[in-house]
Amino acid sequence: MPENCNACERSETASEALSERGARLTDLRRDVLQTLHHSPKPVGAYELFDQLKEAGKASAPPAVYRVLDFLVEQGLAHKLQSLSAYTACKSTPHAHEAFFRICRECGQVTETAVPASLKDVAAQDEFIAEHLVVEALGLCRECQESTL
């Protein structure tokens, strides 16, 4: 891991934002967040656990899940339901919800805003949508080319 990379800076920014809210970015949380930022594709909880364990930084699965839950609550990370995997939030300010397009070949994920029209439909019949899961699985342009 490079020392002064973009991903690490993001973690620092996150740290400041958190302390304003009375939440703390501990060592373990920072490690997880940076790992997510450094990974080109979503990371499973156990994959994360294995890495942290090798580095002597995590003890058992519950620790990892607690950190992941925290990061998701704070909007610093997202869980991709289709993959049962996690990814750092790439938008600023950090959003709790986004539309994820996931390439099944390279695994890369692009994060965009959830269209207002979808939220409109969600709110029909007085439904209160507390959380949206919006994911598209498919092939990114690059992988279409390389699969020719």
Partner DNA sequence: CTATCTAGGGTTATATTGTAACCTTTAGGA
Partner DNA sequence: TCCTAAAGGTTACAATATAACCCTAGATAG
Q: Which residues bind its own copies (CB under 8 A)?
A: 81-82, 99, 101, 103-104, 110, 112, 115, 117-118, 121-122, 124-141, 144
Cα diameter, the chain: 51
| Residue numbers 72-131 binding DNA by CB under 7 A | 84-85
Q: Which does 146 bind (CB under 5 to 8 A by kind): its own copies, DNA, none?
A: none
CB of 18 to DNA, least distance (A): 9
**Closer by beta carbon to its own copies, 9 or else 142:** 142
**Closer by beta carbon to its own copies, 23 or else 143:** 143
Dist. CA 68–CA 71, nearest whole Å: 5
- Which value, in Å, is the radius of gyration of the alpha carbons in the chain? 16
- Does 24 participate in binding DNA (rule CB under 7 A)? yes
- Does 134 participate in binding DNA (rule CB under 7 A)? no
Q: Exposed, middle or buried by CB within 10 Å (0-12, 13-18, 19+), for 86?
A: buried
Neighbours of 85 (CB within 10 A): 21
CB of 75 to its own copies, least distance (A): 16
- Does 16 participate in binding DNA (rule CB under 7 A)? no
What per-residue string of b and e applies to 9-19 under the rule 16 or more CB within 10 Å gives b? ebbeebbebbe
Dist. CA 112–CA 71, nearest whole Å: 19
- Does 26 participate in binding DNA (rule CB under 7 A)? yes
Of 9-17, 52-60, 89-97, 128-136, the window that binds DNA (rule: CB under 7 A) is 52-60
**H or E element: which one contains 119?**
helix 116-122
> Residues interacting with DNA, by CB under 7 A?
23-24, 26-29, 44-47, 57-63, 65-67, 69-70, 84-85
